[in-house]
Amino acid sequence: MNIQSLIRTVPGKKTGIALMLSSVLLTGCAMSPTSPEGSENVRAKLTELQQNPEMMAHARVELRDAEAAVQVAEQPLDKDEAALAAHRVYMADRMVEIARAKAETRMMESKRVMLGEERDAKRLAARTQEADNAGRKAKELQRQIDMLEAETTDRGLVLTLGDVLFATGSAEIQGGTNQNLERLVNFLNQYPKRQVLIEGHTDNVGSAMFNQNLSRQRAESVRGYLVSRGISSRRLSVAGYGFERPVASNSSAMGRQQNRRVEVVIDDKS
């Protein structure tokens, strides 16, 4: 029989019965178990983590375990089971904190790896850029050497200026024959750290003293020309070897012509 039927059965006592039944119901509700103290706080902490996409991404398993522990902690228990309820809340709280710590650690590790990859990528890009620059510089240098018609030797780059640069027995540079010298000026301007040695050589016609002086004077003339074109004199040194260092036999006119020369030696250290 429900409350309404009971009230209808005893009309004169409606008010008293109603009050009695309400009291019984309230007493029953008051005696019903509720979620343990502290479980709401643990649930709030867990919800905060679950709403953070990064936390979810880095501690999915730990947060799932924490959810299970919180659900257990939220189960109502009787008053005589307060110790068990407190233990469940404590364990759930620990599981939430473990999930938080795992997520933060993994997030930091991911960022560390990402930063390392970025550094490696930058270093690789820098090395690639350096290699590209070095390649371009090497190609440009070779192009300049080809234009200069110089020879690469153990001594450095050697540019040979033939005897047409000077009149017979003269150390004065002839006009209209300076194309190679202009190429040399351009090269030295592009590579301003390179040092230059200018060597004069002759054939064996005439005395050793004469040829020694002549070879030196011709080297000095080339040095003077370069200085007049803006090349620093501190980069230029001269030497005269006369006929001490022939490159061909002096027994023929062709051989003697080859020996009458000025060699410009450009170091390759910079």
Both structure tokens of 27: 């007493």
3-state DSSP call for residue 249? coil
Query: Which is nearest to 161 in space by CA: 234, 171, 252?
Result: 171
| pLDDT at residue 221 is higher than 50 | yes
pLDDT band (50, 70, 90) for residue 270? low
CA atoms within 13 A on the CB side of 110: 11
- Answer whether residue 10 shows pLDDT above 80: no
Confidence of residue 179 (pLDDT cuts 50, 70, 90): confident
17, pLDDT greater than 70: no
- Binned at pLDDT 50, 70 and 90, residue 168 comes out as confident
CA distance 178 to 199: 17
How many angstroms separate the CA atoms of 245 and 155, rounded? 15
Q: What domains appear along the chain, each with residue ranges and CATH number?
A: 3-110 (no CATH), 149-266 (3.30.1330.60)
3-class state of residue 241 by DSSP = coil
| Cα angle 133, 138, 141; round to 5 | 125
- Mean pLDDT over 183-209 rounds to 95
pLDDT digits (tens, 9 = 90+) for 78-97: 989 999 999 999 999 999 99
Each residue's pLDDT tens digit, 97-139: 999 999 999 999 999 999 999 999 999 999 999 999 999 998 9
18 pLDDT higher than 60: no
43-75 pLDDT tens trace: 999 999 999 999 999 999 999 999 999 999 999
φ, ψ for residue 155, nearest 5 deg: -80, -15
Q: Which residue has the tokens 């930091």?
A: 108
pTM higher than 0.75 for the full model? no
Closest CA to 143 of 177, 194, 186, 181: 186
